[in-house]
Amino acid sequence: MPDFLHANTAALFAYWRSLDGLPPRYSQWDPLCVPALMPFVNILQRDGGGAFVHRFSGTKICEFAGMELTGRPVRDVVQPELVEQVEADLNLILDTPCGFSCRTLTQAASGRRVDAEYVNLPLCGADDKPDRMVMHMAILETLGYGDLHMEVGELLEASWIDIGFGIPAVPPGSGGRDLSPVLADVAENGI
């Protein structure tokens, strides 16, 4: 099991791993088995064009966002400059398939700024192909308060989780871009 920072993230990952198949079918996901975690869960589903829709959003996630998310496209919630990167990473999770965990500085619609841990894990549809995922958010620490708007901020760390199919060849959080030339330039020139 990856080294998660929050006990709830580890509990969600353990429940997901306990389901049959990797990745398991969505129909196996039983909210009654993890009721305390469900307020912080999103179930995202990929449409035919590679975009994602919130099929289920827990009450605490919606409260954090300041709106009902169920039924909304992910691109309507994420800042416009991050949509391409976020959707590319979500597609890599399903196409590989693999898991993704990260920590970000995130701001709630209420202005609350937090250090949050996320994990995204693939789920299969009826055809046994990954077409959706469960996402869990755990708040590690409140860092203060800002303006009244929701914003996904700085990515503090990110990693792929190998579930038996390998991991993408690009860095996690890169939006599917090969960042090695940029990272090599930074290492060489300190830019």
Is residue 147 over pLDDT 70? yes
Is residue 1 over pLDDT 80? no
The pLDDT score that the predictor gives to residue 119 is 98
Distance CA 59, CA 42 (A): 10
Is residue 150 over pLDDT 90? no
Which stretches does DSSP call E strand in the chain?
Answer: 41-46, 52-57, 99-107, 112-124, 130-145, 151-161
pTM, two decimals, is: 0.88
The pLDDT score that the predictor gives to residue 34 is 97
**Per-residue pLDDT tens over the stretch 41-100:** 999 999 988 899 999 999 999 999 999 999 999 999 888 888 998 999 999 999 999 999
**Per-residue pLDDT tens over the stretch 88-103:** 999 999 999 999 999 9
Surface-to-core class of residue 125, CB atoms within 10 Å of its CB (0-12 exposed, 13-18 middle, 19+ buried): middle
Distance CA 7, CA 1 (A): 12
